[in-house]
Amino acid sequence: MTAPISEGRVSARLAELGLTLPPVVAPVAAYIPAVQHGDLVWTAGQVPMVDGALQLTGKVGNGPGLVDPDQAHQLARICALNALAAVQSVVDLDRVVRVVKVVGYVASDPSFTGQPGVVNGASALLGEVFGPPGAHARSAVGVAVLPLDAPVEVELVVAVT
């Protein structure tokens, strides 16, 4: 993205997408939502909180008592939106020139191997918001359990100008 910064660009794009940047989620512990150092911003891991409440809890998988992968995909999208709010808490989103790295942790039933599809919810949102500069390197892993029993947690590293 070599174009000059266009003020209000990202907020306009979010509005087009029908998305509202939420207030930054208060850390559940002794840390802060994001840190800028140099031209990188690193976010804390974001869980799918909306208005202070987790949207769902549990492990993702196929079967009774598990969070459906399609639902988890939507939750990953919420995580990504919360991560953008975390970035915005330290630097205006219009200054993001590249999404560098995404790690998506999926609390997984041990038989569930569709983590990439779940974390695509986050990746797709970043593509929709930023266009080509939203394309990022990514790791998706299936973990035993996440804070507050969240099904998904997403963290970002973005480059800013």
Contact footprint for a copy of itself (CB under 8 A)? 27-35, 37-40, 42-45, 59, 86, 98-103, 105, 107-117, 119-120, 123-124, 127, 135-149, 153, 155, 157, 159
Nearer to a copy of itself, 33 or 48 (CB): 33
Interatomic CA distance for residues 82 and 69, integer angstroms = 20
Query: For tokens 């975390």, what's the residue?
Result: 86
Least Å distance between CB 50 and a copy of itself? 18
Least Å distance between CB 140 and a copy of itself? 6
Nearer to a copy of itself, 8 or 28 (CB): 28
Nearer to a copy of itself, 40 or 56 (CB): 40
Lookup: tokens for 13: 């794009």
Interatomic CA distance for residues 59 and 9, integer angstroms = 36
* 159-to-53, 91, 100, 133, 144 alpha-carbon distances in Å: 29, 11, 7, 10, 30
